[in-house]
Structure formats: C-alpha cells, structure tokens
Amino acid sequence: MDSYAIIGAVSVLGACICMGIGSIGSALGEGQAAAAALTAMAQQPDEAGRIRSTMFVTLAMVETTALYALLIAFLTLYANPFWNYAINH
Amino acid sequence: MNFKADFSHWLDLPWQDKAIGLENFDAIKVLNFGDVSINVTIFNTWIVIALITLISWIATRNMKVGVKPTKLQVVLETFVLWMQNETRETSGSKNIQYLQMALGLFCFIVVANLLTFIPWFRPPTASLSTTMALALTVFLSIPYFSIKNAGIKGYLRKFIEPVPLLLPMNVFSEVFSVFAMGLRLFGNMLSGVMFAGILSAFIPFIAPLTMQTLGLLTGSIQAYIFALLALVYTSSVRENSD
C-alpha cells in the first residue's frame, strides 16, 4: 500500500470517527435541553413562547460542538495538508 | 486595463462545483480587472448590501407618523422595536450604539442566509472570510464599549478577575469566544449548503427542498444568535453602580 492509499483511507476513517463521536455529546445535550424546555412549557404554558425562543438559541449553541467536529471532518477530507506533502515528496 | 466579467459559474448549482471544498466559494472568480479579481463571495456581499439599502430606502421614502403608514413601514417598525427590546434586555443599557451594532449584524446575516433559497446564490456567510470579518468587528468593539462603559481601568480589571493568576486564561477566552462565533456561523451555513448538495445527488427533486426549508430556520436563528452573542460580549463590562 503506497502513501496515497494510506493517507486517503485514514482521512476517510478519521472523518467518519470524528463525526460519529463528536456528535454524541451534542446530541445528548440537545436532548436534555429540549426535555427541560418541554417540562417548563408544560408547567407554565403562558411563558411557552419565551421558553421556545430561548430553547432555539440554546439548541443552536449546543450544536456548535458537533459543527466543530464537522469542520474537522471537512478539513481532513477536502483540505488535508498531508496530501500536498505526499505529492511533493 | 482589460475588464472581463465571467458569470459562467453562476449557471452551475453550488453542488455541481468541480471541487467541493472549504475554499470553493472564494475560488470562483466573477469579475476580473486585469490582475485584480473579485470572487463570488464579495460579489454576493454587494448584492446583500444593495438589497438591504434598497428595502430601507423604499420603506423610509414616505415615512408617515399619522394615521396610515405603509405596510412595509409597519413591518420594519415592528422588527426594529423587537430588536430594541432584545437589546435593552440583553445589554441592560439604553445606549443606541448597541442597537445599531445588533441591527447591522442581524440584518446582514439574516438577508445573506435567507437568500440561500435561490438555488444559484452562494451565501457570503458560507465563506470563512466573511464570518471572520464579522467576528473581528465584534472583537474590536468589545474594548470600545467596555472602555466607554467603565473606563480603561474597569476594562483592564476584567482580565485579572477573580485572581491575577488567571490572566492568560482570560485573554484566551476573550479571543476564542469571539472567533468561535465566526466559526459557528460558517459551519452552520456551510453544512446547510453541502448537506443539500449531497442529498440532491441522491434524490434530486423533493428531498433537498425540505433541507433548504430547515436551512431558512437555521439561518434566521444563527443570525439572531450572532447578534445576541455580540451584545452579550460587548456589554459584559458595565459601569459599577455608583
């Protein structure tokens, strides 16, 4: 197996593992945030609109960690610096 | 000077680009002035700016205070009032400069994000250079607002709280919390564009529509979050209650 094949295989594998493990935490966190918001909405239906808007903001902020994993996955797939190194050497 | 305008890329949908990569939007050149070339991100930024200016000009052309304002004026007044409320609640200050900053950031990002429903439009916010420029604006306005609120001593005291030992940590968090904001916007918009692109390679007709509809919601929420976080960071140092 030459270096191109190794780099390609490890990049794809690394991107998949990065997305898979990286999204676990944010998925759990989003579930907890949504569950807490639903409980609060059920207890105080008058404040539902305000809770919902706050919940959306919180969800988008929690989602950020998964997005960092996504960025790393994109970097390894499309902007991998080791490709250029292997081509030049 | 040889001027060349090249709009051939505009006929390709974003997911038909030859090299889908992180830099694909910045690599597409639209206008060429000799050596200087304008890429599609800057050109689309101009479109967004022109659209905002046009809407504001139309809405404020015949402003009426009295009985019957135009519909557009009512919509924009509601929007500005909503933003004013949010600004006052978040920053705890009636300084109008907070409102100006939040409105400017929100309007630009929301128009840029909502224009993704045009299939040939590549949103400028899906380019790292645009979002980092926006984050840099917020980063520079933090010392401005802090010094204005609490004086230069109050601003510098933030870095040695609670103990002076944490000075490097405070500096790090000051820098990275703002640039994480730019990364968040970039990641969200890029993932929206690329997910719709990858999905349309498998199911070209109905399925990408649902993802783009979800993208409209995500885009507006991201614009709101960006403005809100900018407000939180800039108003973190307030004057002491004398």
The domains of chain B are located at 3-234
pTM of this structure: 0.82
pLDDT per residue, tens digit, chain B (242 aa), is: 566 666 665 555 554 554 444 446 677 777 777 777 788 888 889 999 999 999 989 888 877 777 777 888 889 889 999 999 988 888 888 888 999 999 999 999 999 999 888 877 788 888 888 999 999 999 999 999 989 888 888 888 888 878 888 888 888 888 888 888 898 898 888 888 777 777 777 777 777 788 888 888 889 989 998 998 899 889 888 765 44
By C-alpha distance, the chain A residue nearest B23 is A79
Half-sphere exposure of A53 (CA within 13 A, CB side): 8
B-chain residues within 8 Å CB-CB of A73? none
The C-alpha angle with vertex B217 and arms to B226 and B130, in degrees rounded to 5, equals: 40
CA-to-CA distance for A39 and A30, rounded, in angstroms? 14
Residues contacting residue B41 through CB under 8 Å, at least 6 positions apart = B25, B26, B122, B124, B127, B129, B130
C-alpha to C-alpha distance for B73 and B70, rounded to whole angstroms: 5
Is the Cβ of A67 closer than 8 Å to some Cβ of chain B? yes
Q: Which of A64, A74, A75 is closest, CB to CB, to B184?
A: A64
Query: Which among B22, B180, B188 is the nearest to A74, CB-wise?
Result: B22
Domains of chain A as residue ranges with CATH = 16-79 (1.20.20.10)
How many residue contacts between A and B have a Cβ separation below 8 Å?
A: 41
